[in-house]
């Protein structure tokens, strides 16, 4: 297997390149088309190059409440992110206790992953309706999104704790550390970089969530709901400009998390020397 | 086999360690936020759906009752059958394409890319779109598939077709294309994970014993990556079965699916009917997963 690269390598590499093109091609296409000239349409050819459609985004009345929905999605993403990190770490630590009934909790987590989103949307909608509560993005929307982000957070924590060497904890305990001190000064620093991964899942999955937020966001739209509303009414490249804008935002967020992860790993590597 | 068995037997929830009363108390306390959130936003909503599926409704409201009409109507309607057939068709084709593409990509990354940083880099390249908006990724197909889109123009320039193909956008073809585009990475990640955990000496042993690379693939790699294949399949199947937004957008509202029927009933405020449909969908998905889980113990794989 480690000899000269055979024909199969080049065929597979070509297949992989095609797949990456398939994955990113459409996104790159709309990124280009969002710079259409003012007279341009939804497809090629380009009718000049301009930032006209990005300008349209900033005119509030033109295409709905984009900035309001962006602010809400951003705030909701942060709320979901923090909650996902805290609850996943606690849950991950809990599972290490091998407590009785952990099987039930485990299946609850897996169930959360496989229940179709529309059931969460419908169920939470009905529940709030029956309890005479108003659905709002920060309450019902927040909870519904957690049913999607928490399983991912916990799966990451499972993977992290599977590789965790409990000798560190035993050493801390032998040196007289209390359980809380052990977690605070030994466990958390070791799992720290993985928490950045959990946070990334929490924020981005919330920021882009649609199906679970549909019936649970109430009268104030999140950004994906706003965008979906636009698809039926807007037929100009302003749609692409918005798409490019939020995708660029997602890439920036992913890049920031990657940078944080890299920095925290590097710091740890230096600390080890 | 030994190293994979050792690794998987250390998986947490199933590993045997006596659970003391103190551990149980502390465990539940630490898991309480998780249980509380999933209880309120997963369990209770599903219970509410099951309850409401027996309720009665008028055009504008719904109220407690214990009737089977919602189910009776659903299960005797010829529409239900055709919608389910359509949904199974979407699921089957999408699953097959995601499996073939996902396996090939994972195989390339795990066995043909030689350095770990390169493997991780290319793997991340495949997963980044997961953290971007699905809606935008669907919209992105418009300039590609439209009547005057890139695909049609290219085919016409090449002289392969005389007039634009109408079935590229807003069709079943577009729906499946979008599904594969959105969900293949759910197949790549678990299969790649299984492949990276696979003990390389097994492959060397097979080669030494005279196996061709095709035999290595079918007799060593595929059997040992079955857990990853199954987990990926569960993801893809449940995502497609419950989808309503991709079908609606990419078919231009022309195709039906179980999820779309439910979302239409919700839009018409027919909550009891929507609930009955949702219960039947949930049971269908659970049965499908039950069948798939017969092939793999998911708790051992985490």
Per-residue pLDDT tens digits for B34-92: 999 999 999 999 999 999 999 888 777 888 888 888 888 888 888 889 999 999 999 99
User: Nearest CA to CA, how far is B67 from chain A (Å)?
Assistant: 18
Q: What is the tally of helices (H) and strands (E) in chain A? A: 11, 0
Q: Which residue of A has its CA nearest to B148?
A: A43
- Residue B48 has its nearest CB partner, among A23, A130, A144, at A130
Nearest C-alpha neighbor of A73 from the set A200, A213, A252, A244: A213
Interface of B with A in 63-82 (CB under 8 A): none
Per-residue pLDDT tens digits for B98-127: 999 999 999 999 998 888 889 989 998 998
Nearest C-alpha neighbor of A136 from the set A125, A148, A146: A125
Counting as low any pLDDT under 70, the low residues of chain A are 1-4, 60-64, 269-273
Contacts of B27 in chain A (CB under 8 A): 94-95, 97-102
Pairwise CB contact (< 8 Å): B41 & A120: yes
Q: Is residue A49 part of a domain?
A: no
B15: pLDDT strictly greater than 50: no
pLDDT for res B9: 37
Q: Is residue A91 part of a domain?
A: yes
Query: Mean pLDDT in chain B?
Result: 86
- B59 to A41, A126, A134, B49, B265: CA distances (angstroms): 42, 16, 22, 19, 11
Query: Mean pLDDT in chain A?
Result: 86
Task: Please state, for a pLDDT cut of 70, what percent of chain B lies above it.
Answer: 91
For residues B13 and B299, the answer to whether their CB atoms sit within 8 Å is: yes
Q: What is the DSSP string of B11-71?
A: -TTTS-----HHHHHHHHHHHHHHHHHHIIIIIHHHHHHHHHTT-EE-SS-EE-----HHH
What band does B12 get if pLDDT is binned at 50, 70 and 90?
A: very low
Q: Is residue A120 part of a domain?
A: yes
pLDDT for res B8: 39
B136 in contact with chain A, both atoms CB, cutoff 8 A: yes
Paired with B63 in beta bridges are B56
Q: Is residue A225 part of a domain?
A: yes
User: Nearest CA to CA, how far is A273 from chain B (Å)?
Assistant: 22
For residues A119 and B278, the answer to whether their CB atoms sit within 8 Å is: yes
pLDDT for res A271: 57
pLDDT for res B259: 92
Q: Is residue A257 part of a domain?
A: no
**Residues 6 or more apart from A241 whose CB is under 8 A from it?**
A34, A53, A54, A56, A57
Q: Is residue A36 part of a domain?
A: no
B198: pLDDT strictly greater than 50: yes
What does the DSSP 8-state code read for residue B212?
-
Distance (Å, rounded) from C-alpha A205 to C-alpha A80?
9
pLDDT for res B300: 63
Domain count, chain A: 1
CATH of residue A229's domain is: 1.10.3720.10
B95: pLDDT strictly greater than 90: yes
Give me the interface pTM, i.e. the ipTM.
Answer: 0.88
User: Nearest CA to CA, how far is B78 from chain A (Å)?
Assistant: 23
Contacts of A231 in chain B (CB under 8 A): 135, 139, 249
H or E segment at B158?
none
> Domain span at residue A101?
65-233
The label of the residue with tokens 């790549």 reads B188
Q: Can you say how many angstroms the Cα of residue B58 is from the centroid of all Cα atoms in its chain? A: 35
Q: Which residue of B has its CA nearest to A8?
A: B112
Q: List the single best residue of B6, B26, B37, B263 to mutate versus A (max A Cβ within 10 A).
A: B37
- Residue A118 has its nearest CB partner, among B129, B146, B259, at B259
User: Nearest CA to CA, how far is A89 from chain B (Å)?
Assistant: 9
Q: Computed over its alpha carbons, how large is the radius of gyration of chain B?
A: 24
pLDDT for res B1: 33
pLDDT for res B211: 87
What is B77-301's CATH topology? MetI-like fold (1.10.3720)
């Amino acid at each position: 297997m480690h000899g000269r690269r055979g024909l199969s390598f080049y065929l597979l590499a070509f297949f992989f390149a095609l797949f990456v093109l398939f994955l990113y091609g459409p996104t790159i296409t709309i990124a280009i088309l969002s710079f259409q000239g003012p007279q341009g349409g939804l497809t090629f050819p380009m009718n000049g190059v301009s930032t006209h459609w990005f300008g349209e985004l900033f005119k509030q009345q033109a295409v709905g409440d984009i900035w309001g929905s962006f602010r809400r999605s951003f705030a909701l993403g942060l709320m979901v992110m923090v909650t996902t990190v805290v609850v996943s770490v606690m849950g991950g630590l809990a599972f290490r206790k091998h407590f009785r009934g952990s099987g039930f909790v485990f299946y609850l987590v897996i169930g959360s992953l496989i229940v179709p989103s529309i059931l969460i949307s419908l169920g939470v909608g009905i529940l709030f309706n029956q309890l005479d509560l108003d659905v709002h993005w920060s309450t019902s929307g927040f909870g519904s999104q957690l049913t999607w982000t928490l399983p991912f957070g916990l799966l990451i924590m499972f993977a992290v704790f599977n590789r965790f060497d409990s000798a560190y904890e035993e050493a801390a305990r032998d040196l007289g550390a209390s359980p809380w001190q052990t977690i605070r000064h030994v466990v958390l620093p070791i799992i720290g970089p993985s928490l950045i991964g959990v946070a990334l899942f929490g924020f981005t999955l919330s920021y882009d969530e649609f199906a679970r937020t549909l019936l649970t966001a109430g009268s104030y739209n999140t950004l994906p709901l706003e965008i979906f509303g636009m698809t039926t009414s807007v037929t100009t490249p302003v749609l692409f400009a918005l798409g490019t804008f939020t995708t660029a935002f997602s890439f920036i967020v992913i890049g920031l998390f990657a940078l944080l992860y890299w920095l925290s790993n590097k710091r740890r590597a230096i600390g080890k020397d | 086999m030994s190293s994979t068995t050792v690794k998987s037997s250390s998986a947490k929830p199933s590993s045997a360690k006596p659970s003391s009363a103190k551990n149980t108390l502390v465990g539940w306390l630490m898991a309480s936020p998780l249980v509380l959130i999933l209880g309120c936003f997963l369990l209770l909503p599903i219970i509410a759906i099951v309850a409401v599926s027996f309720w009665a409704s008028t055009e504008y409201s719904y109220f407690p009752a214990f009737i089977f009409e919602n189910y009776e109507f659903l299960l005797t309607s010829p529409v239900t059958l055709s919608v389910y057939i359509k949904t199974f068709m979407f699921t089957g084709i999408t699953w097959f394409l995601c499996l073939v593409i996902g396996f090939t990509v994972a195989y390339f990354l795990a066995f043909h890319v030689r350095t770990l940083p390169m493997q991780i880099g290319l793997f991340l390249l495949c997963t980044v779109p997961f953290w971007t908006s699905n809606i935008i990724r669907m919209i992105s197909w418009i300039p590609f598939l439209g009547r005057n889109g890139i695909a049609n123009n290219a085919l016409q320039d090449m002289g392969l077709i005389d007039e634009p193909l109408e079935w590229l956008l807003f069709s079943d073809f577009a729906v499946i294309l979008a599904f594969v585009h959105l969900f293949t990475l759910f197949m790549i990640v678990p299969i790649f994970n299984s492949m990276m955990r696979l003990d390389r000496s097994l492959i060397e042993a097979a080669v030494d014993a005279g196996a061709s690379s095709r035999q290595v693939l079918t007799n060593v790699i595929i059997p040992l990556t079955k857990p990853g294949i199954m987990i990926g399949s569960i993801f893809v199947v449940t995502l497609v079965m419950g989808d309503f937004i991709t079908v609606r957008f990419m078919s231009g509202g022309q195709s039906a699916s179980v999820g779309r029927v439910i979302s239409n009933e919700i839009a018409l405020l027919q909550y009891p009917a929507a609930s009955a449909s949702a219960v039947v969908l949930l049971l269908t998905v659970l049965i499908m997963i039950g069948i798939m889980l017969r092939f793999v113990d998911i708790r051992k794989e985490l």
